[in-house]
Amino acid sequence: MKVGIVGAGQVGATAAFAMVLRGAASEVVLVDRNAALARAQAEDILHATQFSYPARVRAGDYADLADAGVVVLAAGVAQREGETRLALLERNAAVFGTIIPAVLAAAPQAILLVASNPLDVMTEIAARISGLPEGRVIGSGTILDSARFRALLGAHLDVSPKSVHAYVLGEHGDSEVLWWTGATVAGLPVAAMAEQRNRPLTAESKARIDTAVRRAADAIISGKGATWFGIGGGLARLVQAIAGNEHVLLSVSAPTARVEGIENVTLSLPRVIGAAGIVSTLVPELDEGERFALRRSAEILKAATEGLAL
């Protein structure tokens, strides 16, 4: 499958590299307003195809996105000193207002995969601007947060994270909700598995895992300025699921009609991903604390888009 990536910075380039390593795309086209950067990234990644799966990797313009099955939106502007969050959002909305029509003019059949932050709000903006049918605008959402949750649970239980099924719901951000009651290993609730492994999940250990998941990006940003490997891998996984029509469950962000009483909000829930994009959305069974937290997350995201001029 041909994949376009708009924004050839660290996230976009790392996603392209990860797609090549996974064999998720047969062709990758990098588009950036800095054409020299796009060319350099494409050439560097192309050289690596000798050590991975065969793929064509090149830089181009919007017209070169023709026939792309997926286009990743990894472009955006940085916050200015003293700038309000709403003002930043409006500037990023303006960026998407230029990018998305150009993308769809070249590749009207493409699924849009949003990677720009603030992720959930930008996913809603992309859905509004594009006017695409439900399921064809997907935010990377909490796919990375869920991976962190699984990794930390696996480390606590001393089992492979591949054997852990756990999801983070809601915002890709501070109000995200770790779905503890839905976490399982080998069909067992994680608490039962923890007892069998003689590694009980105490309130202290759960709080430690929660904090580590929620603050993971802060620690990485403090050390190197930004995150890109984890999300690059997550974007490649999403592209692979679409290309292979896998119908795999992944926690991604999309406009949702109703979540815990909040209507028309964009956030992450477990969703079935296939060739058409989001095939269906699952409604998680939550305990009262999780329901309250998810409603609060939905309220925060709903408020974030109020007053946003598009």
Q: Under a CB-based contact definition with an 8 Å cutoff, are residues 30 and 55 in contact?
A: no
Residue (of 54, 99, 73) closest to 3 by Cα position: 73
Q: 266 near 256, Cβ under 8 Å?
A: yes
Confidence category of residue 80, pLDDT binned at 50, 70, 90: low
- pTM value is 0.95
pLDDT of residue 86: 63
Q: What pLDDT, on a 0 to 100 scale, did the predictor assign at position 78?
A: 67
Instruction: Give the helix ranges, DSSP H, for the chain.
Output: 10-22, 35-48, 85-106, 119-130, 143-157, 190-196, 203-214, 216-224, 229-243, 288-304
pLDDT band at 81 (very low <50, low <70, confident <90, very high): low
| pLDDT tops 80 at residue 310 | no
Q: In which band, very low, low, confident or very high, does the pLDDT at 15 lie, cut at 50, 70 and 90?
A: very high
Q: Which of 32-41, 80-89, 127-136, 187-196 has the lowest mean pLDDT?
A: 80-89
Cα–Cα distance measured from residue 60 to residue 268, given in angstroms and rounded to the nearest whole number: 32
Q: What percent of the chain has pLDDT over 70?
A: 96
| Band (84; pLDDT cuts 50, 70, 90) | low
Going by pLDDT thresholds of 50, 70 and 90, the confidence category of residue 306 is: confident
Element (H, E) at 269: strand 262-274
240 residue type, one letter: Q
In percent, how much of the chain has pLDDT > 90?
A: 86
Residues 110 and 119: their CA atoms lie apart, in Å, by 19
Higher pLDDT, 305 or 141: 141
pLDDT in tens, 155-207: 999 999 999 999 999 999 889 999 999 999 999 999 999 999 999 999 999 99
Three-state SS at 137: strand
Indicate the range of 128-132, 208-212, 225-229 predicted with least confidence. 225-229
pLDDT tens, position by position, 101-152: 999 999 999 999 999 988 999 999 999 999 999 999 999 999 999 999 999 9
In this prediction, residues 217-228 reach a mean pLDDT of 87
Neighbours of 192 (CB within 10 A): 14
Active site residues: 172
37 CB-contact burial (10 Å; exposed 0-12 / middle 13-18 / buried 19+): middle
Judge whether residue 53 has pLDDT over 70: yes
| Mean pLDDT value across the chain | 94
pLDDT of residue 83: 66
Q: For the ranges 40-44, 141-145, 212-216, 241-245, which has the lowest average pLDDT?
A: 212-216
Residue 309 reports pLDDT greater than 70 = no
Task: For 283-293, write each residue's pLDDT tens digit.
Answer: 999 999 999 99
Mean local confidence (pLDDT), 83-89: 69
Alpha-carbon distance of 140 to 113, in angstroms, equals 7
Is there a contact between 2 and 67 (Cβ–Cβ < 8 Å)? yes
